[in-house]
């Protein structure tokens, strides 16, 4: 089963409890699962929507705006890796 974790550098930036970080990670995993595809051509078309959903989630939890882009990129990279694992 796929596992989406926030990198340590993001935990250090957050002013959240471990419980709040776990909630965010679970919501991100749900978003990724709902939007992940196996076909790489479709994946390219899904990426903008996934970016939008991840940024919305980060804003919902008050994630620092200047750190959202790197967090979003990391989540998308992890989602791509997870989709590859799910395809195997």
Is residue 59 pLDDT above 50, yes or no? yes
Sign, Cα dihedral of 9, 32, 54, 26: negative
pTM of the model: 0.69
For residue 56, name the pLDDT band (cuts at 50, 70, 90).
very high
Residue 49's contacts (CB-CB under 8 Å, 6 or more residues apart) are 35
Name which residue leads in pLDDT, 60 or 17. Answer: 60
Would you state the pLDDT for residue 14? 56
Poorest-pLDDT segment among 25-29, 52-56, 82-86: 82-86
pLDDT at 12: 45
């Amino acid at each position: 089963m796929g596992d989406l974790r926030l990198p340590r550098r993001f935990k250090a930036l957050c002013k959240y409890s471990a419980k709040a970080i776990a909630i965010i990670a679970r919501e991100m995993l749900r978003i990724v699962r709902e939007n992940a595809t196996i076909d790489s051509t479709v994946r390219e078309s899904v990426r903008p929507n996934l970016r939008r959903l991840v940024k919305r989630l980060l804003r919902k939890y008050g994630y620092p705006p200047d750190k959202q882009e790197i967090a979003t990129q990391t989540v998308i990279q992890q989602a791509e890796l997870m989709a590859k694992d799910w395809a195997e």
